[in-house]
Amino acid sequence: MSEPSPSPRPPTELVERLAGADSVAVLTGAGISAESGIPTFRDEDGLWQQYDPSELATMEAFLSQPDVVQDWYAHRRAILEEAGPNDGHRALARLEAMVPSFTCITQNVDNLHQEAGTEHVIELHGNIQRNYCVDCEEEASESVLERLEEGEPARCPDCGGLIRPDVVWFGEALPREAMEAAQAAARSADVFLSVGTSAAVHPAAGLPVTARRRGAYLAEFNVDTTEITDLVDEVVRGPAGETLPGLADALESADSESPNPSGR
């Protein structure tokens, strides 16, 4: 078997900034999970190219066709069941272990950062694995959703209310505590990485901008240009599953070459 090819080398300044950083924050989007086989939203084969979000990701859509919306989320959970974290998720977990303070702010609902071992994760858009009743707000177990029958929406066993996924839909506010924690992390970050997000959806997309305005060194990891490419300090072009391991490797080497590896 041949040796795996080495990860691409990241920009030197970014590695130096990271090596000297007290606080690092990362904003991730669907692109980081693309290499796990999970579709993004706005790429050519993205979900919003195939489906109309107003028919699947709004409260109005849910109330008018709850079974269709529940079924779509069940389909997305089924894709996730076959997936797992990739090298990009794992590289961020490695980075977390190498810096004094690390916050992973994610727009993803797939739980893959947690599965990769990242401890400090802020979920801005919820988590597709969790579900709750729209009436009594009790969390619903998986077994309630397994009873999903054609044309029959899943309902709360306690009060009969409809069961919805614990994700943020269009027109809904982001969870307040999560957004406040994300803003605090952005404001205090020395280095901010924007990874695999088109930075097209606010308020999440405002976080890298806030971080840079407050003095963070801002780097974008993406296969393509985004809404914020013009204002970042550094662009690392390529799939996150390759570029992020390169970054973690470089920081590890910088740490081991430092006379005081753990002390910053």
Minimum distance between the CB of residue 79 and ligand OAD, rounded to whole angstroms? 15
Give the side-chain half-sphere CA count within 13 A for 109. 20
List, in order, residues 6 or more apart from 36 with CB less than 8 Å away. Answer: 83, 84, 85, 86, 89, 110, 112
Give the side-chain half-sphere CA count within 13 A for 113. 27
Angstrom distances, CA of residue 103 to CA of 61, 98, 108, 113, 167: 33, 12, 14, 11, 20
Q: Which stretch binds ligand OAD (CB under 6 A): 13-21, 34-42, 60-68, 211-219?
A: 34-42
8 binds ligand OAD (CB under 6 A): no
107 binds ligand OAD (CB under 6 A): yes
Q: Which two tokens stand for residue 188?
A: 């205090």
223 binds ligand OAD (CB under 6 A): yes
List, in order, residues 6 or more apart from 231 with CB less than 8 Å away. Answer: 209, 212, 218
Q: What is the dihedral of CA 58, 51, 45, 232, to 10 degrees?
A: -30
CB nearer ligand OAD, residue 63 or residue 200: 200
220 binds ligand OAD (CB under 6 A): no
Q: Which stretch binds ligand OAD (CB under 6 A): 10-18, 23-31, 141-149, 180-188?
A: 23-31
Which residues on adjacent β-strands are paired with residue 236? 221
Residue 125 falls in the annotated catalytic set: yes
38 binds ligand OAD (CB under 6 A): no
- Of 31, 85, 208, 245, the residue at the interface with ligand OAD (CB under 6 A) is 31
Angstrom distances, CA of residue 65 to CA of 44, 162, 212, 260: 27, 11, 42, 60
Q: Contact letters (x/-) for ligand OAD, 169-208, by CB under 6 A?
A: ---------------------------xxx-xx-------
- Of 10, 19, 24, 29, the residue at the interface with ligand OAD (CB under 6 A) is 29
CB nearer ligand OAD, residue 96 or residue 220: 220
Per CB under 6 A, residues contacting ligand OAD are 29-31, 34-35, 40-43, 46, 57, 107, 125, 168, 196-198, 200-201, 222-224, 226, 239-240
